[in-house]
Structure 1
Amino acid sequence: MRLAPFALAATLALASPLACAEYWVYYDILQPNSQFVLETKPDRSAWVDVAGPVKYCQRGEGYQCFAAGDFRFAVPRGFTGTQQRWNLHGAAYEVTGTSRRQLLGRTYTTYFIETDIAQHRLRYLYTLEAGLIGIATVGKPERMQLMLGGKCGFGAPSDCTQSTKLR
């Protein structure tokens, strides 16, 4: 399945006032035509031009997580930044650092959460205010640097809304 029809269908679904789906788009800043898309209801994802299913953690599991193809991410529910390591579904996650980052005019403390998947080490950029704002491969050669295309990423708290005015 090509990404364009998938993105069009997701856009139309979001335009509906009855839509309850959530939708996140991450753009590769090195190759802007490459995108990673997550969607709920239906639970599906797309990377570049390949679409497929995505599995999300249920509320009772204690984590906010997704598994979509080669992408796997998990953070404990109620993450405060004090947790340093956790394991979920055979994957180990570790906070390897923090940084102050600016995204769409706001400054956040960003937690670098790393995990090994296949032959790659992935670094997820996670904030308490906006959730998952970035995904990158670590090491040489760096092949991917995805950044959130909106204000609120996967795992953002409920008070984060796309329509909130920037300060």
Structure 2
Amino acid sequence: MTKIVRREVLAMAAVGTLASACTSGGDNRPRRVAVIGAGIVGASIAYNLAKAGAEVTIFDRHDVATRASRGTFAWLNATWAKQPRAYHRLNQLGMAGWQELESALDIPVKWGGSLEWFASEERQELLASQIAEQVAWGAPARMVEGSELSELEPQVNFRGTAGRLFTQ
């Protein structure tokens, strides 16, 4: 069973309501909306409200994307840890949306991935089966042999790393 967080549902409902009301009213003047936070989520909300016709002002105590968004890009992913399948699919759709936004805004996003490995052979075998499941679900994941690691991450010392790894 997937847990739904009340705050997230309220935020999604608010965005939908604001977007539909951006140009409502008898005078057809655009609505003025303030968005608090200029991270990836706040910027996305502001972008979509502006596309819907709102006059948007973003407030952030720091610069755009200077905190969590700079470090993690909101940790956008649809990796092997996303369970159950419906949740994984939701994340895949979210990734597709971000890629459309990248294209629409012509912004330089470097889509990377992650490398995962475990010291335990048992855990490494479980990882391999989880990756196979994700591939079956349409994820662009694959197992990587040690010789490719330095190409993917030239600044990491992989000496002593045993087993296979995965990237997405």
Shorter-chain TM-score: what band?
under 0.3
More helix by share: 2
More strand by share: 1
Q: TM-score, normalised by structure 1?
A: 0.23
Larger Rg: 2
Q: TM-score, normalised by structure 2?
A: 0.23
